Chains A and B, each alone.
Chain A
Amino acid sequence: MKKARFYGQGLPGMEGLELPGKLIVIEGTDGVGRSTHVNLLHDWLESKGKGVLVTGLTRSPLVGEGLKAAKETKYLGHLTMTLFYATDFADRLEHEIIPALRAGFVVIADRYLFTLLARDKVRGADSQWLRDLYGFTLIPDAVFYLSIDVDTLIPRVLRAGKLNYWEAGMDLGLADNLFDSFREYQSRLLGEFDAMTKEFAITVIDSKGSINSVQTKLRKKIEKLFKGTTP
């Protein structure tokens, strides 16, 4: 059986833990269709008879509510936000993801460490400090990055009416309007994602095509993960 592996020192009390489940991470910026693909994968895996748990960012019972309220104050500093998210992430790892993996579930993470690293890096945090901080992170079985260029992304986001303060990175003061800020912020985020693909063995999935074609690519890769295991 597979043992838990971490990027750094891991979590106290979880060394050598056996995890029969699989952790699949779907990364990608807002508007790339991430949640749609997560839902499709969820249904597909369940139809194959697998136990599936979907988890996202900032939904933990510990931090979810407090972080939402803190963001609304517009008083939240960058460093504080980084650590708030790190707390949320650790809580979900310990109380949601790892227990599900122990019970043999397939866990689909709708964003994971990499979104947090990209966001924090864009806000000026030190790379090494971030990597040390997140040394408690469990290494996933697979990470898929839904890649898109900013020009294809923008119309999708506009159509979905999702151009908002945080997704445009307005807290960074990059531009005086949502549109220009969004373009600049997303370009920087995409740059950070590209830079991380090698370091973290991330599989890049070109997501310019239709939902169907992207989903097919994902399923092919995921099927390989289950080869050799009983369905």
Chain B
Amino acid sequence: MSKPFTNLKTNHDFPGLLIICEGIDGSGKSTQLHLLKTWLQQQEYDVFFTEWNSSQLVKKTTKIGKKKKLLTPTTFSLIHATDFADRLEHAIIPPLKAGMIVLADRYVFTAFSRDTVRGVNREWVRNLYNFAVRPDLAFYFRPTLETALERILLGRSELKYYEAGMDLGLSHDPLESFRLFQERIMKEYDLLVEEWGLQVIDSNKTIEEMQSEVRESVKPFLKTRPIRRSE
């Protein structure tokens, strides 16, 4: 029988490579991950992409919970962990076993920051995700709050209830609530940078500058790992 659990605190021994990115909405992380993916594919590496909160199996439940506002801090945290577990079992571990490069748009650190801000016990949420694969490289895209807000609110007519952190009761105004919520999340991320050694990329730089930093950090791994290339 194979090991039932991988462990967030120890390096994995799969042939593949796990690269993740973190950051609040509007930090530019998705653009950077897309550019990284393009660059890797141009070199004919086999790339697998996975995104936070995207499991088909769990989707319906999360949707019901959000729509009917049924989620408490604990069930919000647990349903996202369920989503993550499904993707770990189907979209992260198998491609890593197959020697592919897995790119994850948001990872456990999203839960560590968000759920803690929602009032969930810090240690509990870390233990909850202890089964995750430890990433080989974890980027944290850090914008100033103003830059992020400007980007995210551009062309948006309204903010969703949980997205704006309205369940925290910080403010009745969704915009003000969103602002306060994101500010707290950024503070949590700053703590995570130290705790988990996330590589900080300054999101106030240009897209090209950021991408060049990202690629430089990825290069050494491509030389040392037996990563699969497309036929």
Chain A residues at the B interface, C-beta cutoff of 8 Å: 8-9, 11-13, 61-63, 65-67, 69-70, 73, 75-80, 82-84, 86-87, 90-91, 94-95, 123-126, 129, 132-133, 135-136
- Known A-B contacts A78-B4, A83-B85, A124-B4; the reply to A70 vs B65 at CB < 8 A is no
- Known A-B contacts A62-B70, A66-B58, A126-B4; the reply to A94 vs B75 at CB < 8 A is yes
Q: Which residue from chain A places its CB closest to the CB of B118 in the assembled complex?
A: A12
* Contact yes or no, B73 A12, CB < 8 A: yes
Q: Which stretch in B15-23, B40-48, B124-132 binds the other chain?
A: B124-132
Chain B 54-68 interface 0/1 with A at a Cβ cutoff of 8 Å (1 = within): 010110110011001
Interface centre among B1, B65, B118 (most CB of A within 10 A): B65
Chain B residues at the A interface, C-beta cutoff of 8 Å: 1, 4-5, 55, 57-58, 60-61, 64-65, 68, 70-75, 78-79, 81-82, 85-86, 88-90, 118-121, 123-124, 127-128, 130-131
Main secondary structure of the interface of A (DSSP, over half): helix
- Can you give 24 A-B contacts (C-beta < 8 A)? A9-B123, A9-B124, A11-B72, A11-B74, A13-B119, A61-B68, A62-B61, A62-B79, A63-B61, A63-B79, A65-B61, A66-B58, A78-B89, A79-B4, A80-B57, A80-B58, A80-B85, A83-B85, A87-B75, A87-B78, A90-B72, A129-B5, A129-B127, A132-B127
CA distance A133 to B65 in the complex (A): 20
* Contact yes or no, B60 A87, CB < 8 A: no
In the complex, how many angstroms separate the beta carbon of A185 from the nearest chain B beta carbon?
Answer: 16
Top 9 closest pairs, chain A to chain B, by CB: A66-B61, A77-B89, A124-B4, A83-B82, A87-B78, A12-B119, A80-B86, A80-B85, A132-B127
* Contact yes or no, B57 A91, CB < 8 A: no
* Contact yes or no, B61 A135, CB < 8 A: no
